[in-house]
Chain A
Amino acid sequence: MLGVCMIFAAIGIETNFSAIDWCIVAVYLLGTAVIGLCVNRFVKSVGDYIVAGRAIKPYLGIATMIGTELGLVTVMYAAQKGFTGGFSAFHIALVAAIVTLAVGLSGFIVVPLRQMGVMTIPEFYEKRFGRGVRVFGGAILVASGVLNMGLFLKAGSIFVTGITGMTSPLALKLVLSGLLGLVLIYTVLGGMISVIVTDYVQFVVLSFGLIVSCIFAVNKLGWQTIIDTVTAQHGPAGLNPFHSDGFGIQYVIWMAFLGLVSCAIWQTAVVRACSAENPKVVKRMYSFSSVGFMVRFLVPNFLGICALVYICQTPALQSIFLPDDGNADSGMTLMAMPVFIGNILPTGILGIITAGMLAAFMSTHDSYLLCWSSVLTQDVIAPCFKDGLSNKTRLRLTRTFVVLIGLFLLLWGLWYPLGQDLWDYMAITGAVYSTGAFALLVFGIYWKRASSTGAYLALCSGGLAALGLKPIAELFNLNASAETVGLATIGLAVVTMVLGSLAMPNTRPAASEEN
Chain B
Amino acid sequence: MAFWTTFWTVVLIIGVALFAVLSVVVTIGGWFDIRALFESIKAQHTQAESEDRDTSADRKAHSN
Contacts and interface: CB of A to CB of B under 8 A. Distances in A.
Q: Do A and B bind each other?
A: yes
B6 to A, nearest CB: 10
Contact of A298 (B11, B32, B41): B11
B41 A208 contact: no
Contacts of A239: 1, 4-5, 8
A59 B25 contact: yes
B44 A53 contact: yes
A48 interface: yes
Contacts of A295: 15-16, 18-19
Interface residues of A, number: 46
A90 B11 contact: yes
B19 to A, nearest CB: 4
A94 B14 CA distance: 11
A57 B12 CA distance: 29
A147 B19 CA distance: 31
A291 B37 contact: no
A208 B21 CA distance: 11
Interface string A69-106: 00000000000000000010010011001000000000
Chain B CB within 10 Å, residue with most, of A58, A197, A295: A295
A48 B16 CA distance: 35
B40 to A, nearest CB: 4
Contacts of B29: 58-60
Contacts of B44: 53, 55
Interface string A197-209: 1001001100110
Interface in B18-37: 18-20, 22-23, 25-30, 32-34, 36-37
A292 B21 CA distance: 11
A271 interface: no
A322 interface: no
A207 B20 CA distance: 8
A298 B25 contact: no
Contact of A60 (B11, B33, B41): B33
Nearest to A296: B19
A136 interface: no
A57 B29 CA distance: 9
B1 A60 contact: no
Given A42-B41, A211-B20, A93 B30 contact: no
Contacts of B5: 87, 227, 239
Contacts of B36: 55, 57
Interface in A15-69: 39, 42, 44-45, 48, 52-53, 55-63, 66
Contact of A193 (B16, B20, B41): B41
Given A59-B26, A231-B1, A239-B1, A44 B45 contact: yes
Contacts of A44: 45, 48
30 contacts: A55-B36, A55-B44, A56-B33, A57-B37, A59-B28, A60-B37, A61-B33, A63-B26, A63-B27, A87-B4, A87-B5, A90-B8, A193-B41, A196-B34, A196-B37, A197-B34, A200-B30, A204-B27, A207-B22, A207-B27, A211-B16, A211-B19, A211-B23, A239-B8, A288-B22, A288-B26, A291-B19, A292-B22, A298-B12, A298-B15
